[in-house]
Amino acid sequence: MLSHSRPEGRTILSVDGAERRFGDLVVFSDVSFDVAAGRCCALVGANGAGKTTLLNCVIGADRLDDGTVTVCGESVDEASPHFRRAVAAVVGDVATFPHLTTHEHLQLVASGHGMPDPYGLATRTLDDVGLTSARDQLPVTLSSGQRHRLALASVLVRPSELLVLDEPEQHLDADGREWLAATVQRIASEGTAILIVSHDAALVTAVADDTVDGDSWR
């Protein structure tokens, strides 16, 4: 277990006795861990260990066969306004409107979550993720690294109590990975609980307070 100096707050995410099966394949069973406010937990392990499957069960894109996941004490429910407000995720592709520019997309997300000054927030966030020069571009014209930065920007313009990130280092260059580590640390220091899957040992070392080893699940 890695240790940073952040204090433990109230439990935001609780995974208890989680099991997921696909036919005869038991992807994981009896997985239990908590993530408290202001803490970052990294799921690590080999390809196919079941990390993304577990993330999908946490964000409500998939369901457990056994066990429970609660966020802020409530069961996972994508239809619940509180759940949708509490959980921000970059897992797989983040949907964007094809006819909205990067700046318009971020304004829409910010305004949908009731953030003050969506225009200014979108402008500052594009600057933060290094996409100012792409503010008037449509998503289809972005490089894969720029698309990934836009996906990360989308979770930075909205509030969240739990931030879920699946291999956020993908497509990022060296500067981008440094920015990512600093950003994850900043978000945790502001009190958000973070669950991150990563194959980047340096990123995990930099940001994780706790690690859960997916290689021990089967």
Ligand X SMILES: Nc1ncnc2c1ncn2[C@@H]1O[C@H](COP(=O)(O)OP(=O)(O)OP(=O)(O)O)[C@@H](O)[C@H]1O
Contact criterion met (CB below 8 Å) for 151 and 90? yes
Nearer to ligand X, 91 or 126 (CB): 91
What is the chain's percent helix, strand, coil content, to nearest 5?
Answer: 40, 25, 35
Nearer to ligand X, 3 or 47 (CB): 47
Bridge partner list, 31:
18
Which residues of the chain form contacts with ligand X (CB under 6 A)?
22, 27, 45, 47-53, 214
From CA 148, how far away is CA 94, in angstroms rounded?
9
Structure tokens at 188: 């945790």
CB of 159 to ligand X, least distance (A): 27
CA-to-CA separations, 200 to 169, 205, 216, in angstroms, rounded: 7, 9, 19
Nearer to ligand X, 91 or 129 (CB): 91
From CA 155, how far away is CA 66, in angstroms rounded?
29
Bridge partner list, 62:
none
Of 172, 187, 180, nearest to 206 (Cα)? Answer: 180
CB of 122 to ligand X, least distance (A): 31
Helix (H) or strand (E) holding 143: none
CB of 25 to ligand X, least distance (A): 6
From CA 211, how far away is CA 194, in angstroms rounded?
12
From CA 180, how far away is CA 186, in angstroms rounded?
10
CB of 62 to ligand X, least distance (A): 8
CB of 100 to ligand X, least distance (A): 29
Nearer to ligand X, 9 or 92 (CB): 92
CB of 61 to ligand X, least distance (A): 11
Nearer to ligand X, 47 or 144 (CB): 47
Nearer to ligand X, 31 or 207 (CB): 31
